[in-house]
Amino acid sequence: MHSARNIFAVVLVLAALTANAFGSVVSGAPSRGEVQRLRWKGRAVRIDVSSSLTRANSNIKYGSDVLGALQRSVQAWQAAADIQITLETSDKQSVSPSGLAGDGVNLITIAQTPENVMFFAKDSDSASAKTRIFYNRSGNVTEADVVLNPFQQFSTDGTFGTFDLESTLTHEIGHLLGLRHSAVLGATMADTFARLGTFGIADVSPRTLSDSDIAAIRDLYGPARDVSDCCASVTGKLTGSAVPLRVWAEEDRTGRVAAQTDGAADGNFSLGGLPPGTYSLFWKTSDENSGSVGQLGQIKLEAGEGRVLNENVTVPDDSVAARYVGLNNQIADLAVPLSSGRSVTVYLGGRDLNVAGTSVEFNSPFLSVQPGSVVKQDFGDSVSVISFTVSVHASTPPGEYTVFLADESGLRSCLIGGVTVE
């Protein structure tokens, strides 16, 4: 379960624009505390589409392209990985009750039935959708039901104040296939999602899978059959930290985030689904109240190659922590969309973000922070905020890029995939 996130602003923030979390609720075998890998045993999945979606519904703006949104959401995952999804219409309306097993039907619904309403009893105002997943002791998914929140409004045309239907469906189908939430803020599988109009723009970038989403789904099912240059992996163990660490890879040439994973409690991690190339690897504490981040080094991968990387990591006690990013005097734990060939003022929020001795950096030759542009901002006592101006080169490849905070001693904090270049 995930609670609503905050958007901070210099003045008033409308409740209709608050960031909201997706949900993914699993049922099945008892958890042993390890990082769970769930996937379907086969590569063919049938999804029943409830008539609550195919007929007129007061929660979906009239004239919305519902079937088109569904088909494009499915196609996005099929184009990335060796998985085949079939959509069928159904008169079934309700999510299966929690338990060890469901009713055997994989359902997408938005019906206002008692079962679906109860599913959102604790977060009807904050969640856009949830997926209930059933799986067995082998980690194989046996059923998954997607429920769009019947208390929320959706559209496909970018209407401010609604949730983008296609982005929501693409995210939830990712859960249905077994993916967990991603720590890459600009990924489709990021755990927070905003109504259209946040930061004053209609951002529909989650409709398009990020490189990290593609790597994650290929790690489970392998690449789509027409993809020949995949997949490499990096596995290993990071010791020396009292808390689990997040690990991610960035393309060495472009600086784009290529893959991300959360390490297990014992320090083991696995990054799979990577295309061949040279990558810079980083770690970050999974505790959002900590700003600690570090670099593991550079690694070159050939197609199909598996490499092992074991490191002892020293986690400094650092008070600086970047947690939010934004535009137009607003910040949230959402990625900021940027356009190639433009310069824009970006805001960073968190704890103890001081201008003196602090630099904002990107691990990319395509994004540069204008000298002298880092400025302290006053957002009140609840959050520390600075702003900076970033110039995006006209030839910047689309993708997610990490925002780093550094001083003379090195990296201090970051937001993984904090900006998305469209």
Per-residue pLDDT in tens (0 to 9) along the chain, 422 residues: 333 344 443 322 222 233 445 555 655 443 434 445 899 999 999 999 999 999 999 999 999 999 999 999 999 999 999 999 999 999 999 999 988 889 999 999 999 999 999 999 988 888 999 999 999 989 999 999 999 999 999 999 999 999 999 999 999 999 999 999 999 999 999 998 889 999 888 889 999 999 999 999 999 999 999 998 899 999 999 999 888 899 999 999 999 999 999 999 999 999 999 999 999 999 999 877 777 899 999 999 999 999 999 999 988 877 788 999 999 999 999 999 999 999 999 999 998 888 887 899 999 999 999 999 999 999 998 999 999 999 999 999 999 999 999 887 778 899 999 999 98
Determine how many CB atoms are found less than 10 A away from the CB of residue 314.
9
* Fold equal for 228-312 and 321-421: yes
Q: Are 208 and 188 in contact (CB under 8 A)?
A: yes
Domain 228-312 in this protein, CATH class: mainly beta
The pairing of beta strand 343-351 with beta strand 367-369: unpaired
- Cut 0.85: pTM above it: yes
**Residue 175 contacts by C-beta under 8 Å, 6 or more apart in sequence?**
22, 24, 131, 133, 144, 146, 189
**Residue 333 contacts by C-beta under 8 Å, 6 or more apart in sequence?**
5, 6, 19, 185, 192, 323, 324, 325
DSSP state of 5: P
HSE at residue 249, side-chain half, CA atoms within 13 A, is 31
Domain boundaries, the chain: 7-205, 228-312, 321-421
Domain 7-205 in this protein, CATH class: alpha beta
Q: Which helix (H) or strand (E) holds 174?
A: helix 165-176
- Give the residue from 246, 239, 294 showing the smallest Cα distance to 271: 246
Asked: is 321-421 a CATH 3.40.50.9100 domain? The reply is no
Tokens found for residue 98 = 């929690």
d(CA 105, CA 143): 7
Which position has the token pair 């109240």? 289
d(CA 216, CA 347): 29
Q: Which helix (H) or strand (E) holds 227?
A: none
